[in-house]
Amino acid sequence: MLKLNHVYKSAFAISLAFSSISALAVEFESYLQPFTADSLWNSVPVSPTFSNYIIPDSLYNPTANTPAFSASCFYADAADAAMTIKVGPGYGGIHDRDAEKLVSELTIPHWPANVMPATGADGHADILDVPNKVIHSFYKLKNVNGEWTSLLYAWSPLNGTGWGDPAHYYQGGRATGVAACAGMIRIHEADDGDTMFRHALAVSLTDNALSTSYVFPATSTDVNVSNYTGQIPEGALLMLPSNFDISKIKTPLVKKIANTLKTYGAYVIDRNYGTPYVVYSEIGAATRVTGSGWYELTLIQKALRMVTSVQGWVDGNGNSFQANQNLNVLSFRGPWARGYNYQADSDVCSNNCGQLGKFDSMQQAVVFDTTDEEITQSNPSGRSVTYVSWAKPKKGYKYQLTAATTGGGKLRFVIRDPEKNDYVSYDSTALIDGQSVTFIWPLDNYDTTAIAISGVGEPSTVSGSLVRIE
């Protein structure tokens, strides 16, 4: 197996090492092939059906080369030093999208020396920390007078699905909450001699094609969708039908894209300005077309269709599976306040304020330092239960709440009725690690309070899951 060392890490250098090895086995959850084998990025849809909607024309031609609004995928390892990212000029803070709060700075444990964000206004860049299996994703990343600054930060597991889940719904700098490198045509594969890219592609559409909604597997969409007048939601899968005549495509890159669109398809992950569709490629990838290539990309535009259903999926290892939309909907992001005060919006404590638990994004848990007393904190914000449209709990369905704690921590969960003066409709009582309760979701209109209770005498964490039982 080839090993990537510290000095051998620019995307271009890594691509040279692998581009000549045509028979290299796919290694999922890696720098070159992120995410699990059964990630929808790495899986083939079976027997898709299609809508009749045609992507409309706009101001410009379709393209697969927009370096100013793309990103580079930077390789980081344990030899790279840490980097502190500061607030950019004129910003109120760095928006930590998972914690849903503004922070004055954040530290990335491994930062490659060759980081360079895209030059366009979005300033995307992804840092793939391979040893720690984390993708750090930035929006409006800049180097200002020798200091790195950013407007937005999010992270995703390199060994995850490549999509957000209802609990950790925003995992990258794109509008749908995915990393900028997800689905991208990478430098090492643009001209590797293969007939297709061995993953689904990432595309953006413009306002006249996009609808105002989003669908699974997307967990987010653009902030402003008021100008969207089309019929394709973000998160949708686009494909070329099986009867699309590839022989019409002569340009090698466009043919490779077309073969990929017939097999894997492409997910709509963002909007662009004035282009019917953009296939995202890594900065520096050989994806610029000329001459008849422009016309061929337009042929694809007229034939692309939104997938409305599939019978199933085949993962990157050849195994059949069904995509799971019944995912954890319970998050532990703040704000957290001391006590059982369901309406609390600030920390209220007596003599032990410094030991209050805090949400840790990487652990997806409330983390307590060692304390000599049991500390109870509540989160009445309502954000503990997902706002993701396709995953919100529904009245009458059965759910299972499971505690995942360490150090003696406990989890409690309360559902209240805002129409009855916050009457408590359900109370799980305190659950220890591994303990589960099942209940029928009582309300369509509800408020929730998550309660985290620390252990005593050692560090502790409180997390858990809330999943619908079929």
Angle between helices 252-263 and 292-303 (to 10 degrees): 10
- Residue 351 and residue 404 share a domain: yes
Given a cut of 70, is residue 330 above it in pLDDT? yes
Q: What is the mean predicted confidence (pLDDT) over 154-163?
A: 98
Cα 273-276-279 angle, rounded to 5 deg: 90
Confidence band, pLDDT 50/70/90 cuts, at residue 211: very high
Q: Where are the alpha helices (DSSP H) in 166-290?
A: 252-263
Say how many domains are in the chain: 2
- Residue 238 and residue 108 share a domain: yes
- Of 258, 290, 323, the position where a domain reaches its end is 323
Which pLDDT does position 25 carry in this prediction?
Answer: 66
Q: From edge to edge, which strands make up the β-sheet containing 423-427? A: 337-338, 376-379, 447-453, 410-417, 423-427
Is residue 367 situated within a structural domain? yes
Give the predicted TM-score (pTM) of the model: 0.91
Which pLDDT does position 339 carry in this prediction?
Answer: 86
Which pLDDT does position 180 carry in this prediction?
Answer: 96
Is residue 331 situated within a structural domain? no
The span from the CA of 334 to the CA of 353, in Å, is 16
Given a cut of 80, is residue 199 above it in pLDDT? yes
- Residue 317 and residue 347 share a domain: no
- Of 323, 346, 361, the position where a domain reaches its end is 323
- Residue 237 and residue 215 share a domain: yes
- Residue 255 and residue 342 share a domain: no
Q: Model confidence over 58-107: pLDDT tens digits?
A: 999 999 999 999 999 999 999 999 999 999 888 899 999 999 999 999 99
Q: Model confidence over 331-345: pLDDT tens digits?
A: 999 889 898 754 443
Using DSSP's 3-state secondary structure scheme, residue 437 falls into strand
- Residue 375 and residue 282 share a domain: no
Is residue 332 situated within a structural domain? no
Is residue 273 situated within a structural domain? yes
User: 19-23, 171-175, 177-181, 396-400: lowest mean pLDDT where?
Assistant: 19-23
Residue 137 makes CB contacts below 8 A (sequence gap 6+) with 124, 125, 126, 127, 153, 154, 155, 156, 171, 172, 173, 179, 180, 181
- Residue 353 and residue 295 share a domain: no
The span from the CA of 375 to the CA of 356, in Å, is 7
Do residues 72 and 283 lie in contact, with contact meaning Cβ atoms separated by under 8 Å?
Answer: yes
- Of 323, 352, 376, the position where a domain reaches its end is 323
- Residue 146 and residue 294 share a domain: yes
Given a cut of 60, is residue 399 above it in pLDDT? yes
Burial status of residue 274 (CB atoms within 10 A of its CB: 0-12, 13-18, 19 or more): exposed
- Residue 304 and residue 342 share a domain: no
Q: Is the peptide bond before 67 cis (omega within 30 degrees of 0)?
A: no
User: What is the domain-level CATH number for residue 448?
Assistant: 2.60.120
Q: Model confidence over 222-261: pLDDT tens digits?
A: 989 999 999 999 999 999 999 999 999 999 999 999 999 9
Is residue 179 situated within a structural domain? yes
- Residue 270 and residue 201 share a domain: yes
Which pLDDT does position 209 carry in this prediction?
Answer: 98
Is residue 248 situated within a structural domain? yes
Is residue 280 situated within a structural domain? yes
Is residue 96 situated within a structural domain? yes
- Residue 158 and residue 37 share a domain: yes
User: 8-17, 221-230, 264-273: lowest mean pLDDT where?
Assistant: 8-17
Given a cut of 70, is residue 452 above it in pLDDT? yes
Which pLDDT does position 341 carry in this prediction?
Answer: 58
DSSP state of 182: T
- Residue 412 and residue 312 share a domain: no
Given a cut of 50, is residue 13 above it in pLDDT? no
What is the extent of the structural domain holding 265? 1-323
